[in-house]
A and B are shown apart, each in its own frame.
Chain A
Amino acid sequence: MKGGQVGVARAVPAALGSAGLVCVVIGTFLPWLYSGSRSRNSYATDGAARRLLGVTGVGDAALAAWPFVGLACGAAIAALLVGLVRTAAVIGLLAAAGAAAGAIAMLTANENVVVRTAIVGPIVTLAGSLAVPAAVTIHVFGSSRSRRENG
């Protein structure tokens, strides 16, 4: 593999992963819940759920950790920028997994809970979350291929 190709092979997953993490953060600030004529982003929804639903145990811990999704995404991109690819991948995957779980929970909650969920926020977050494992997969396959080609 030539140098230019190596550069592209590294840049594509990095760009995809970073874009995914940015989408995750943007999605969490978009509407997740409608109540009357007012919409709430994921964090306002998270706070209201914790205060109103009396969630305990693992659910409460997950809701308490939700506001730190943005920080985790920022840390993953920062690690990627300074060349700590594995650290970036681990933090990014954890953040994406948490964000995806939250988005899926909200999208499927429509049937069960007496809230009117918004689609746009969870969908953008979910799309961003899915981009991160895709980027990691591309990076892993790209690396192993370049190792094979270099003997």
Chain B
Amino acid sequence: MTYPPAPGEPGSNQPGEQPPQYGQQPQYGPPPQYGQQPPQYGQQPQYGQQPPQYGQQPQYGPPPQYGQQPQYGPPPQYGQPQYDPQAPYPLMPPPTPHRRRGRLLTALTAVVVLAGGGVATYVALSDSSSHGAASPREAVDDIVSNINSSDLVGMLDSLAPPERVAIADPLIKDFDELKRTHILSADADLSHFSGAAATFSGLTYGPNITVNDHVQIVQITGGKVHIDADLSKLPFSAEFIQQVSPGHPLQGRQSETVDIGKAVHASGESIRIATEKVDGHWYPSLFYTIADNAAGAAGLTAPSAKDAIPAVGASTPVDAVKKLVDALLGGDVSGAIEVLSPDELGALHDYGGIILDQVGSSYPAAPITLDRLELHSTPGSNGAQLVVLDGFSAHIEGQGQISMEIDGDCVRVTTQGRTQRMCTDQLTHQIEQLFQQSGNKPLTDGQRQALEDLTSATNLQGGIVTTQVAGKWYVNPIQTFFDATTDLLQRFQDNDLLELIGLFKEFATSSVSAGGGVFCPGPQPC
């Protein structure tokens, strides 16, 4: 069934309108008549006629003119209005010079705005990534400037990247946890540390000491440092101060200006700050500074490149920890340093030679033979792997065989053929009994809760942090320590730490009064 086309649809001819004829071939002039000769492109050669001579071009008449439109009559009329080609276009008049200028101006403004965004991004990227200094002395100047501004964020940010990773993140987290557990006051602010401030001025420097291609020691030989300390402004909470020093709030203020030049002259030693070069930029290094000052205090000279202990590492995180355990039990100092992260403890590698000179390349091995050490690794943050203990079996001289397996919150220990299973709740109970017996009074609910949280915080699943450097795995002791601290603090509830401090104080007091030998403060023998 067909319907007549609706008005407006193709095929519906409205009176007076000339709709386009869809489906119909446009008329390009009259078609050629049947029997009429097609267009003559020269004449076909006739039989009997001489074929064209080779070398002679056949005569086909003039070729059609390419590039020229063939003349097929007037173009089709689709109902468009007829415009006078000479008349201006009614809807899109040619742009006037004024409008052209306006458009050009708009386009230019757009380009300028876009360029402004680009400049803002360039400045933003510079601000975002600005760290490191061009020279060791500039690196020291940077951190001195941060100290003068009490800018702790800047101080941490100016440290060498591996140290920053090891220290900054856990320090910030621990600070937050100490606030949460009421050790620090609620308004304590790491970015505005109150109670102590130091201001350096007029610093003068001696010649730098080059340790190796990536470590230089900057010597401060003169200038002044002004130290302001106000105990009452330290960011401890009132509860914490009451707990550690009841009835005696922290008080006392000291302000002092030290002439560094005079101090250096009197001691004969400059203030030495080690700097480390990482990716072409210089940073102050806390660990190298500690190592350098320790070496100086021991009367040792700065190490040379030949003193360095190479970073060897291991093929897997578990192997790295096993190698470290073997080296430590075997008394192999050099072997232990070889598997420590050269990023985190580069100072230990570079100062390794002089450490060995001091303590010897080995120490007496522990009287333990490790038969079995079962570990596994789990992913940690920033690409690190946490190596976790599953169990071990060892022979201890004089004690016999001992083995231990970790089973969730419980530990299964086998000594001399006898197996004992100890879980964290049992541990809590034993500690409670110990404190009750020593204090001769029952624990408060808060103290009991704090002890339960403490034992649950004894994280049996805690791991050793390992990281990969140049394809090898290394142990990171500093990160492991800070991770464990943060993990422990995160498990404490509100006043747990304050309760534990109180409990230990009671325990210590009762032990002293009972002559228990825990603390013997007086001159008389306990």
Residues of A within 8 A of B (CB): 25, 28-29, 33-38, 40-41, 43-44, 46-48, 50-54, 56, 66-75, 77-79, 81-82, 112-116
Contacts and interface: CB of A to CB of B under 8 A. Distances in A.
B131 interface: yes
Contacts of A69: 124
Contact of B191 (A34, A56, A75, A77): A34
A46 B121 CA distance: 13
Interface class of chain A by DSSP: helix
Contacts of B121: 67-68, 70-71
A99 B115 CA distance: 20
B190 A72 contact: no
Contacts, number: 141
Given A47-B128, A66-B128, A115 B117 contact: no
Interface string B77-110: 0000000000000000000000000000011011
B111 interface: yes
B153 A115 contact: yes
A91 to B, nearest CB: 10
23 contacts: A33-B153, A35-B151, A36-B149, A36-B193, A37-B149, A37-B150, A43-B124, A47-B130, A48-B154, A51-B164, A52-B168, A54-B165, A54-B381, A66-B124, A67-B124, A68-B121, A71-B121, A75-B114, A81-B106, A82-B106, A114-B179, A114-B191, A115-B190
Among B121, B149, B152, B179, residue most surrounded by chain A Cβ atoms (within 10 Å):
B121
B501 interface: no
Contacts of A73: 117, 120
Contacts of B381: 54, 56
A87 to B, nearest CB: 12
Interface of B: 106-107, 109-111, 113-118, 120-121, 123-125, 127-131, 146, 149-154, 156-157, 161, 164-165, 168-169, 172, 175-176, 179, 188-193, 381-382
Nearest to B161: A51
Contacts of A50: 128
Among A25, A35, A77, residue most surrounded by chain B Cβ atoms (within 10 Å):
A35
A114 B169 contact: no
Given A81-B107, A114-B176, 19 more contacts: A25-B120, A29-B123, A36-B149, A36-B191, A37-B149, A44-B127, A44-B130, A46-B128, A47-B127, A47-B128, A52-B156, A53-B168, A70-B121, A73-B117, A82-B106, A114-B175, A114-B188, A114-B189, A114-B190
Contacts of A112: 176
Contact of B192 (A34, A79, A81): A34
Contacts of A114: 172, 175-176, 179, 188-191
Contacts of A113: 172, 176
A40 B153 CA distance: 10
Nearest to B172: A114
B179 to A, nearest CB: 7
Contacts of A77: 110, 113, 117
